[in-house]
Amino acid sequence: MTRDKLWGGRFTQPTDKFVEQFTASIEFDKRLYDQDIRGSIAHARMLGKQGIIHQDDVDKIVRGLQSILKQIEAGKFDFSIPLEDIHMNIEARLSEKIGEAGKRLHTGRSRNDQVALDIRLYLRDEIGEIITLLGLLSDALLSQAEANIDTIMPGFTHLQTAQPILFAHHLMAYIEMLKRDRARMEDCLKRVNVMPLGAGALAGTTFPIDRDYVAKQLRFPAITRNSLDSVSDRDFALEFLAASSILMMHLSRFSEELIIWSTSEFQFVELSDSFCTGSSIMPQKKNPDVPELVRGKTGRVYGNLMALLTVMKSLPLAYNKDMQEDKEAIFDTVDTVKGCLRIFAEMIAEMRVNERKMRKAAELGFSTATDVADYLVRKGLPFRDAHEAVGNAVQYCIENEMDLSELSLAEWQLFSPYFTRDIFDAITVEASVNARNVAGGTARDRVWSEILRCRERK
């Protein structure tokens, strides 16, 4: 018999050493120690309340688990690969410490519902931290938006100059994305925050357990309703990975803009030296390593989502060993998202904005051409005719290497008799920005009201 295994009763040969290493998860799931112990304490107290084990045993189990928690946090706990996972490592150590009482802890539960509980507790804790970090990044963006409420930059489509906008308006676009990211995390939390313990291996248990009591102890608002689904569900983890992938996509888009804006060709912003590195050969270089790495790390989060989707796609009910592959994808995504949010918030807070460069760029590239067309429409010309007239004016400027602002009134009137001297007031970048005084527009008053709205909701 393989007496070194807690499940070894029906086996007559020892586990192959490489199989032990290949199948063990302790090297990565040991980070669930806190959640595993919290769940075990709640389970033990329920067993005592229900009279399934004696209260003296409950007291010994709780004290023993609390002692093991302190031991792990002090770095004095030796994790064992032959014991496979965090659950069996803790349970074996508990039995060593308190004897027979420790062997009663696993009554009425399985590692299948135990790990489902641990992952839900872990994600609940981590999603809360991610929501907090989203708030910190939003605060940093809001502060930059407030400081740059009068900074005008070119807005782009197809990475070509389109229309003048406020830099604050551009930053507020990312705040809207982060709001949705937060809402997705909060909504995901509803599916995470359901208590699976009591499902057993797959069919429930013959013992008169009180699942609602355990849920209340662990602050779960609800329990799972089907034992098969309870142990085989990883939808909540996939939902978290999907929400994280969208969040990272937003950070990657912003990273791309920061990288472009930091170039000598743009010089719109300068990132603090604290978030950049130099070149080993080119003394002049200041490389935007942080946004580049965030952009790169987005791919690993996408990969984690695809990996777990692929693991789950063909699994019959209920638990299968394949599902052990969920943890590294979850852990890596949590670490990546939290790290990216934390460093991004700090980087944005220290970012310096070159208002002069932004404004100069906004005045180039015929960015007020749409305003000229709108001007003609207000004079009575149909929009399509106005569009053609301004297109002709732009072509004239290109051929003569000049900008719209450099045209004389006589030249304007070459393209339409509707042009009068007030055209010169209509084509400034300030006029262009403030003319868009609609809800969600880039006019200063609208942007400022959105900043205040976001501040009030904090």
| Residues assigned a catalytic role | 158, 279
Which residues does residue 160 pair with via DSSP β-bridges, in sequence order?
157
- Residue from 156, 7, 155 nearest 85 by CA: 7
What's the one-letter identity of residue 148?
N
Sorted by sequence, the CB contacts under 8 Å of residue 126 that are 6+ apart come out as: 334, 338
Structure tokens at 46: 């329920």
Check if the beta carbon of residue 236 is closer than 8 Å to that of residue 220: no
**β-strand partners of 156:** 161
- Dihedral of the alpha carbons of 100, 102, 106, 112, in degrees to the nearest 10: -140
Nearest to 200 by CA among 278, 106, 293: 106
Side-chain half-sphere CA neighbours of 450 within 13 A = 27
Q: Environment class of residue 170 by beta-carbon count within 10 Å: exposed (0-12), middle (13-18) or buried (19+)?
A: buried
CA distance linking residue 233 with residue 224, whole number of Å = 10
The DSSP 8-state label assigned to residue 352 in this structure reads: E
CB count within 10 Å of CB 32 equals 24
**DSSP label of 420:** -
The DSSP string of 153-174 is EEEEETTEEEEEEEHHHHHHHH
